[in-house]
């Protein structure tokens, strides 16, 4: 049964990047079926890494929706107390800084502002200077 699923998943794909892209979206679809009350910090962190990978390795797929999903996912992992998400927080700040110059991505910064209200404040202390730069 699993072999058939794999075969159907990669059928018609010609490059390693196409296979990688398909697997990442398939994994995101599976994660999206998990009820929110069953999310753990590790599941949320895994979702976050998938969004980062899509953003970094498939530039043609970059969109406002993907950027919003990436920030929501990373902040969600932080809300759940993920230590790995906390260690990757500088990556999120760098991401936000890179896209902040584009006016269409102001919605992404607003998501960060709203979601950060639900994260324990002490999690921001090591990076307070970088956080402040984003908003001034």
Tens digit of each residue's pLDDT (9 = 90 or more) over 65-119: 999 999 999 999 999 999 999 999 999 998 998 887 777 788 898 999 999 999 9
Q: For residue 63, what are its two tokens?
A: 């969109």
pLDDT in tens, 20-76: 777 787 888 888 888 878 888 888 888 998 888 888 888 888 888 999 999 999 999
Q: How many CB atoms lie within 10 A of CB 47?
A: 23
How many angstroms separate the CA atoms of 81 and 123, rounded?
9
Q: Which residue carries 């906390």 as its tokens?
A: 86
How many angstroms separate the CA atoms of 5 and 94, rounded?
37
Residue 132 DSSP code = H
* CB of 9 closer than 8 Å to CB of 26: yes
Q: Which residue carries 């953003």 as its tokens?
A: 55
């Amino acid at each position: 049964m699993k072999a058939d699923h794999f075969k159907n998943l990669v059928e018609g794909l010609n490059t390693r990047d196409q296979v990688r892209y398909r697997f990442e979206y398939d994994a995101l679809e599976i994660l999206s079926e998990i009820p929110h009350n069953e999310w753990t910090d590790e599941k949320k962190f895994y979702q976050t890494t998938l969004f980062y990978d899509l953003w970094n390795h498939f530039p043609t797929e970059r969109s406002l929706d993907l950027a919003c999903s990436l920030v929501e996912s990373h902040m969600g992992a932080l809300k759940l107390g993920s230590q790995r998400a906390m260690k990757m927080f500088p990556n999120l700040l760098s991401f936000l800084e890179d896209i902040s110059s584009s006016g269409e991505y102001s919605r992404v910064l607003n998501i960060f502002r709203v979601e950060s209200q639900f994260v324990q404040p002490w999690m921001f202390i090591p990076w307070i200077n970088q956080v402040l730069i984003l908003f001034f």
